[in-house]
Structure 1
Amino acid sequence: MHVLRVAQVFDGERFVASGNGPVDVALDGGAVVSVGPPVDYASDASVEDLGDATALPGLVDAHQHLTWDCSPDPLGWHTASDDTDLRGRGRENARRALAAGVTTVRDLGGRGLVTLALRDELAADPTAGPAVLAAGPALTTPGGHCWFLGGECADAVQLRTTVGRLAAAGVDVVKVMATGGNVTPGSAPHESQFGIAELRAVVESAHAAGLPVAAHAHGTGGVADALAAGVDTIEHVTFMTADGIARDPGLVERLATAGVPLSLTGASLPGTPPAPALAARFPALIEHVRELLASGARCFFSTDAGIGPAKPHDVLPHGAVMIVEIGRKSVARAVAMCTSGPADALGIGDSVGRLRVGARADVLVVQGRLSDDVSALLRPVRVLHQGVDVARPTAH
């Protein structure tokens, strides 16, 4: 048994303290066996006193692109790289994510089946990278957003066929581009790519195969159609227009009432300028995020890591800081949006995203008391993945 002794614990939902004394997180193999005040352990237990530190669940980043290179030209990267290059870059990005305490990643778009091979490789070694849920290529229109990943489909028939092929290949989730996006030349994020009928075809086919559907959607039309089609998560949800951000209180209310999980991919590296199209919209986008957070909609935070210089694969802790500073939320709410919130949205909340008896032993320990300072997330001192101690991380 390995016991981590810290000043406080965030269990995925709330902070746990033990009066004025320390709190222990006891791990046995790959599982959490207790969280609470120190007790008398068996003689073979190893107790590691980490002092004035906070233990929390490993972070869950529900929107990454592990095999992308964070350059401003994703199309150029994919054009110049073969699958060996992509998988090698994925290994590097996975190690970087894990060192920051990201122990679970949902990869929502890689070329062909390379991310499935990477997923299986990482699963064999807990120190190599996070656990991965992989979508493979995102479904898109011919020449549409991220067409270079290999998921082009012209109509509902092709969408159903491709979902079946991906299910047979072993994907964990199906990704569909309900709207265009920012990183593909000729694609506009405010414009819808598929209508309700096509999106329903994806949802029906995926659900029949036991797979959830994540819908990329920026414009309000695409968001509304994804909601109506019954997707399992909606990604981005920015309400972009041709030149700004739309206000649509009615749609916000419908999203909140439906309870569909919304993946807000706003985590970015401070000091790295966003793309010009996003920079011009930034003030309105902040107000839009605040409206979503205040509405009661089921929001969690993620990164879209890999798509550009502002999105490295260890950036999720900065997202929690943003939620507190920009979203005006408590530290507990912000950290839950990066742990238990995404875990529940992905249907894995019983095993990850929380420190509780029986959960997977994915633990991030940060310097200081997180309840007093959310930026403690940027000071990791220990990461354990499936109970295995990962190489000592470095602060951001």
Structure 2
Amino acid sequence: MTPLAIHAGLMFDGTDLSGPTTVFVENGRITGVDTTGALPLDGVDLIDLGADTFLMPGLVDPHVHLGFDAGLDPVAAFIAADDAELLARMRTAADRALRAGITTVRDLGDRGYLALALSAESERRPAGGPEILAAGPPITTPGGHCHFMGGAAEGAIALRAAVRERHERGCAVVKIMLSGGNMTPGSPPPHESQYSSADLRVVVDEAHRLGLPVAAHAHGTQAIRDALAAGVDSIEHATFVTADGVDADPALLAAIAESDTFVSVTIGVVPGDSPLVLPPEVAKRVEAVHEALRTLYKLGARIVLGTDAGIMPVKPHDVLPYAIAQFTAEGPSPLEALTAATGLAARACGVSGRKGRIAVGADADLLAVTGNPLDDLDRLRDVQAVFRAGVRVR
């Protein structure tokens, strides 16, 4: 197969910015990066994207739910669908993400390990969707948050068995619902912990023994505290909610920032003509949650942008470009926001050697947009080309 050369006027490699660049691709991997500005000679298939094109690594979303349809009642739709219907819906969601330049996603909750099946399909046919790093059904308590996904387990023996099952099936991460959530009728509220710190340590110790990272869904302040103490790899949401507000303890914020734990903040919505209507118990906490996020940023916490795509109409599976722009309202520069959705997000997902960067040996997952998004992050939605494992899909 003839090597491919992709030329653009600007290039962001996941860390730094360069001028005119040619990226060489063979067998799905990047084999060379030439920043001299010269166009390649014979022996390659050249795609010249033009001087006004910004080439960058494909985006990485560390927190999605491909099985949720971003409808008015995604839980009901999820439960009502049989496995074939759900898998078809997940394929559509994956395609939508990929066409937006999101070339890697971490699916943090499915049913029946369907995301693993879809991941295998994507590896056989890269143009079919992003690389999917699947968690399988999230570990939760009986009747707990997202119990309808089939991952209920309690007690040390069952928890260890749940972790081992995910390892044996080939999951890339273990997801645990450490606190309650808003989406599951009858389950504990977000501020309440579902597992004790001892139970959490069982899951973390077993997962790490097997070489798997742990992503902990944690809204409540105590759940976040327990997650940090147990050594989870990422804290998902991190909203610091209590029964009647938000308690972002400064000492806890500082400890998170000083740790190696990633904070996956599930921000990002598609703006609409009508304002987003939140439940009253959520709306009253919004500003305090954002203040905690701004403090985490100022302290230097490792923040990445997991969007929770699929859970509501304003969070479709291509919402990440909006999240990147919206993240700058919390303090980061456009370059920092872009890094949070590429190089840093790849590190959070454990794939930094292959994803989120343009470098020799990395996967040829690339996004090209018109103009420089560091001047205007809305340009991330002006997609000119998307490559997945060297295959052009748009």
TM over 0.5: yes
2: CA distance, partners of 1:144 / 1:246: 23
Distance in 1 separating the partners of 2:278 and 2:242: 16
Deviations 1:14-41 (A, max 9, x none): 2112xxxx32222233122214123363
Q: Is it true that 1:261 corresponds to 2:259 in the alignment?
A: no
Cα deviation per residue 1:160-199 (whole Å; 9 max; x = unaligned)? 1211222222211110011001111123111111111000
Deviations 1:82-114 (A, max 9, x none): 111110000000000000000011110001221
Map 1:97-116; keep pairs closer than 5 Å. Answer: 97-116=97-116
One of 21, 24, 27 as aligned partner of 1:26: 24
1:210: how far off?
Answer: 1.9
- Give the equivalent residue in structure 2 for 1:374: 377
Matched ranges for 1:56-67 at <5 A: 56-67=56-67
Residue 336 of structure 1: how far off its partner (Å): 0.3
Instruction: Give 1:47 shift.
Output: 2.6
The number of aligned residues is 386
SS of the residue 1:218 aligns to: strand
State how far apart, in whole Å, the 2-side matches of 1:37 and 1:270 are: 40
Q: Is 2:361 aligned against 1:363?
A: no
Q: What is the aligned partner in structure 2 of residue 127 from structure 1? A: 127
C-alpha distance in 2, partners of 1:40/1:56?
18
Q: SS where residue 128 of structure 2 aligns?
A: coil
Question: Which letter maps to 1:304?
Answer: D
CA distance in 1, matches of 2:103, 2:11: 17
SS in 2 for 1:224: helix
CA distance in 1, matches of 2:118, 2:8: 34
* Residues 253-303 of structure 1: per-residue CA shift (max 9 Å, x gap): 010111211111112212261532433322222222111111111111111
The residue number in structure 2 matching 1:148 is: 148
Q: Distance in 2 between matches of 1:166 and 1:386?
A: 26
**AA matched with 2:59:** L
Per the TM alignment, residue 4 of structure 1 is displaced from its structure 2 partner at its CA by 2.2
Q: State the alpha-carbon separation in 2 of the partners of residues 8 and 27 from structure 1.
A: 17
Q: Following TM superposition, by how much is the alpha carbon of 1:377 offset from its aligned partner in structure 2, in angstroms?
A: 0.6
Q: What TM-score do you get using the length of structure 1 for normalisation? A: 0.94
Q: Aligned partner of 2:56: which letter?
A: L
* AA aligned opposite 2:7: R
1:300-338: per-residue Cα shift (whole Å, max 9, x none)? 1111111111211110011110112x1132111000000
**Aligned positions of 1:1-396 closer than 5 A:** 1-17=3-19, 22-32=20-30, 33-39=32-38, 41-51=40-50, 52-186=52-186, 187-271=188-272, 273-276=276-279, 277-324=281-328, 326-390=329-393, 392=394
Give distance in 2, aligned partners of 1:244 and 1:2: 54
The one-character-per-residue Cα deviations of 1:123-143 (angstroms, maximum 9, x if unpaired) are 111110000111110011110
Aligned residue type for 2:385: R
Q: Which runs of 5+ in 1 are unaligned?
A: none
| Distance verdict in 2 for CA 1:11–1:274, change over 3 Å | farther
Secondary structure at the aligned position of 1:234 is classed as: strand
SS class of match (2:126): coil
Residues 1:81 and 1:281: Cα distance change in structure 2 (over 3 Å): same
- Structure 2 counterpart SS, 1:237: strand
Question: Gaps (5+ residues) in structure 2?
Answer: none
Structure 1 distance, partners of 2:268, 2:367, is 19
- Between the aligned partners of 2:73 and 2:144, the Cα distance in structure 1 is 16
- Scaled by the length of structure 2, the TM-score of the pair is 0.94
Asked if structure 2 preserves the Cα contact closer than 8 Å seen for 1:145 and 1:181, the reply is yes
One-letter code of the match for 2:331? R
Deviating more after overlay: 41-50 vs 352-361: 41-50
DSSP-derived class of the 2:176 partner: strand
| Partners of 1:179 and 1:219 within 8 A in 2 | yes
In structure 1, distance between residues paired with 2:114 and 2:107: 11
- 1:7 shift after superposition: 2.0
- Contact 2:137–2:150, Cα closer than 8 Å, also in 1: yes
- Partner Cα separation in structure 2 for residue 13 and residue 335 of structure 1: 9
Compute the RMSD of aligned alpha carbons.
1.5
Name the CA distance, whole Å, in 2 between partners of 1:118 and 1:97. Answer: 14
